């Protein structure tokens, strides 16, 4: 299955340079890297970043991360989200989608 990590362009640049990603400041506070399913990505983008925000959306191969991925209930959302415990290796990224506006994410990601 493919899961998605939403990043600001500067975060993606840092990820590429390092070859791995250990999370955003919010991820560090939470103790895991926040990700979304395909059906959750658009609402996550709007809730976290807001309309008009440029984003880089990474498609990540969940299987390649093994037991590092845990689907856990987000109490304030009432549904399970994929959380990555550990670093995200660049090799796990299977697609990169750049958008100028978080509000149009659904138009860019494959169905």
Overall domain count for the chain: 1
In contact, 53 and 102? CB cutoff 8 Å: yes
From the list 32, 31, 35, 86, the residue with the least C-alpha distance to 58 is 35
Alpha carbon of residue 91 to chain centroid: 15
Instruction: Give tens-digit pLDDT for 42-66.
Output: 999 999 999 999 999 999 999 999 9
pLDDT greater than 90 at residue 74: no
Q: 3's torsion region: left (phi>0), alpha (psi -120 to 50) or beta?
A: beta
Query: What is the extent of the structural domain holding 69?
Result: 2-108
Instruction: Give tens-digit pLDDT for 16-52.
Output: 999 999 999 999 999 999 999 999 999 999 999 999 9
Q: What is the pTM of this model?
A: 0.95
pLDDT value of position 78: 86
Phi first, then psi: what are they for 82, rounded to 5°? -80, 130
* CATH of residue 32: 3.20.170.20
């Amino acid at each position: 299955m493919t899961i998605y990590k939403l990043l600001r362009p500067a975060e993606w640049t840092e990820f590429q340079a390092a070859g791995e990603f250990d999370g955003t400041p919010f991820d560090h506070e939470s103790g895991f890297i926040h990700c979304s399913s395909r059906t959750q990505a658009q609402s996550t983008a709007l809730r976290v970043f807001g309309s008009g925000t440029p984003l880089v959306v990474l498609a990540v191969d969940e299987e390649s991360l093994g037991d590092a991925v845990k689907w856990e209930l987000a109490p304030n959302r009432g549904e399970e989200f994929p959380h990555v415990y550990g670093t995200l290796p660049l090799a796990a990224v299977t697609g990169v989608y750049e958008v100028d506006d978080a509000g149009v994410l659904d138009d860019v990601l494959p169905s």
